[in-house]
Structure 1
Amino acid sequence: MLNVLIVGASGYAGAELVNYMHRHRFANIKKIFVSKNSLDIGKMFSDVHHQFTDMIHLRFESISDFNLVDQDINVVFLATDHNVSHDMVPFFLSSGCIVFDLSAAYRVRDCKIYTDYYRFIHKYKKILEKSVYGLAEWKEKEIKKASLVSVPGCYATCVQLALRPLVEEKILCSQNIPIINAISGVSGAGRKSNITNSFCQVSLQPYNIFTHRHTPEIIEHLGIPVIFIPHLGAFYRGIITTITCKLKDNIQEVDVYNIFYKFYKNKPLIRIYKKFLPSIKTVEKMPFCDIGFTIKDNYIVIVAAEDNLLKGAAAQAVQCFNIRFGFPETESIL
């Protein structure tokens, strides 16, 4: 039984993380924390997230009141802003904890990315170099030995799971850059009220073309250039991605199926579609990434979908936790 802290438990992804870990057979949530300025300090978890009424009896505490010396803590989950995680990760690592960080603070090696895309200077280059990128289906060996697992971004997870098998098998035409159109629900913007994620304001609109923070993350870890066009949709949760690529000559539909099967046949949270294409409905409140595709004239359109709060955040974090400690990979997730 591992003792766990969860910081940032009042947010949407944080709440899903609390739910997963609360029902985990090999984990015990010692405390849940929010920032020192949060209005949720002192409230019960179920008073903020009503769907867990009479299920989860935990109270939010201020992280400023926490003294690690007095705690027997094995694992810390950080469902926090990148600025907060940037400063907290060194503290928890130095205290002997295994850390799973859901922010972007330790996802990419190039420190310049943090200056250009996140507007802060990364101060912990040595820790950054040792961070393991937690794309669970592709980094199992590294995760098993990690002290710090940086859980990928929601868009980056969906895109990489769809593209990486084809990149690994080198069947994409190198002269054509994959074009990625991805649509996310408004929960991706977080729980804090904002005019940009109000359902009265949201239509269906692209944003941050060429400048979205997940673009360099995708490029660094996928190893190829891409054009990433994110959209905000007027729905609560989920991501659906369509990726257009050109294949090398003589690549058939069966070849692509076989490639996906080769890499994902033993991966329980990846579902490959043959007769249909994925949709938001197939993944909403589910921990899967669903992948389908269609081919015509050497062009392939891959469709991938996931719940941004689950496979794009909390479910993948718990999946990494299970891999790290040798538990069944889907423990508490399925």
Structure 2
Amino acid sequence: MPCAVFGASGYSGVELVWLLHNHPQFTLIHAFSSSAREEAEPIASLYPQLTGQLDVILQPWHSDLLSQLAQQVRVVFLALPHEASAQLAPQLIKAGLVVFDLSGAFRLNDNAVHEQAYGFKRAPDTPKHIPYGLAEWTQLQGSEQLIAVPGCYPTVAALALKPVMEFIQGTPIVNAVSGVSGAGRKAAAHTSFCEVSLAAYAVAQHRHQPEIAQSIGSDVLFVPHLGNFKRGILATIYAQLATDVTEQMVEQALRTAYAAHPLVRLRQQPPAINDVVGTAFCDIHAVVHGQQLILCAAIDNLLKGAAAQAVQLANNYFKLPATLGLTSRGGVV
């Protein structure tokens, strides 16, 4: 299946390039940068660790390439800034391409909530019905034009919470820590290892809060933190259980939800970030203390939280096994 990646110079983009390069059923035809660079260059010039392993050329994108692209590829993955995806995706759809978008441009159903969270209006030609692709909770028909790939924090929070929402009273609290790669590749002082100290940010105003709430069907308190490590997310989630809910009921709900989903692992102890870095897994551990539920969950933000989930959704779209091309431990960044 011939594919193209836009935003291939970024962290999620290069992970997509690597996954598609090694996938048995997808072939990477084009890799475009997220900005209009003057000249094409090997992707290994940006990521020297790929030297001798990947000879992909990173190309500048120009709109006059669209007709050629439509003749050469079937599937496009967008790892672009939110507004850039919002502008480009409708053009690609009109050209007959299937688009998996990793930005936040199409995740939120309510246009007003989207505009408040992301600061721009969607184009009038945006498709009306866009599936939200939380992979374990989505069944694609293979006819969709555009699929919104969830954000990293919403992925880990929703995978942990959705199976047990029927048992929860009140508002869950999601406390999550992410590595600095979640901020993207662009250099900034606040994400420099010399500057980062474990700290909360965007408290009660992070744009992923409405996405988590939409995904679980409930309001949520979400506090993200930035940690001084490269990649991965560890979420600790607290919720009040309804009367008479037991730990066995919670564990059974999780087992039932994920029995047929091998990329979610139910753990007997709290997961560590190192357990999931470089993998497409989400690891979940549940504890009931009195009537309080504590969920510990971990993912790799660049893989299960971005690139690997996009490929998992593409597997779903083309009726391929969920784990195809996703079982090798790796990670470029």
Partner AA of 1:164 in structure 2: K
* TM-score normalised by the chain length of structure 1: 0.94
1:37 deviates by: 3.5
Query: Given the alignment of the two structures, is residue 136 of structure 1 paired with residue 135 of structure 2, yes or no?
Result: yes
Aligned match for 1:241, one of 235, 239, 245: 235
Aligned match for 1:148, one of 146, 149, 163: 146
* TM-score normalised by the chain length of structure 2: 0.94
1:45 deviates by: 1.1
Evaluate the alpha carbon distance shift between residue 257 and residue 145 of structure 1 in structure 2; reply closer, same or farther with a 3 A threshold. Answer: farther
Aligned length: 325
- Alpha-carbon distance in 2 for matches of 1:110, 1:125: 16
CA contact under 8 A between 1:143 and 1:149: conserved in structure 2?
Answer: no
What does residue 302 of structure 2 align with?
Answer: 309
- Alpha-carbon distance in 1 for matches of 2:163, 2:247: 14
1:204 deviates by: 0.4
Indicate the RMSD between aligned Cα atoms, in angstroms: 1.4
Aligned match for 1:319, one of 312, 315, 329: 312
1:65 deviates by: 6.3
Secondary structure in structure 1 of the residue aligned to 2:195: coil
Q: CA offsets, 1:54-94, max 9 Å, x none? A: 11111111111651222322000000001100001100000
Counterparts of residues 251-266 of structure 1 (less than 5 Å): 251-266=245-260
Q: CA offsets, 1:101-142, max 9 Å, x none? A: 000001111111232121111223751x221111010012x4
Q: Which runs of 4+ in 1 moved over 4 A?
A: none
Structure 1: give runs of 5+ residues left out of the alignment.
Answer: none
CA contact under 8 A between 2:199 and 2:225: conserved in structure 1?
Answer: yes
Evaluate the alpha carbon distance shift between residue 165 and residue 44 of structure 1 in structure 2; reply closer, same or farther with a 3 A threshold. Answer: same
- Alpha-carbon distance in 2 for matches of 1:124, 1:109: 15
Q: CA offsets, 1:160-208, max 9 Å, x none? A: 00000011xx1112xx211110000000000010011000110000000
Q: CA offsets, 1:295-316, max 9 Å, x none? A: 1111011000000000000000
CA contact under 8 A between 1:132 and 1:143: conserved in structure 2?
Answer: no
- Alpha-carbon distance in 2 for matches of 1:268, 1:144: 21
- Alpha-carbon distance in 1 for matches of 2:123, 2:314: 26
Query: Given the alignment of the two structures, is residue 27 of structure 1 paired with residue 21 of structure 2, yes or no?
Result: no
CA contact under 8 A between 1:35 and 1:64: conserved in structure 2?
Answer: no
- Alpha-carbon distance in 1 for matches of 2:123, 2:200: 33
CA contact under 8 A between 1:143 and 1:324: conserved in structure 2?
Answer: yes
Aligned match for 2:185, one of 180, 191, 211: 191
CA contact under 8 A between 1:6 and 1:18: conserved in structure 2?
Answer: yes
Query: Given the alignment of the two structures, is residue 42 of structure 1 paired with residue 40 of structure 2, yes or no?
Result: yes
Evaluate the alpha carbon distance shift between residue 126 and residue 67 of structure 1 in structure 2; reply closer, same or farther with a 3 A threshold. Answer: closer
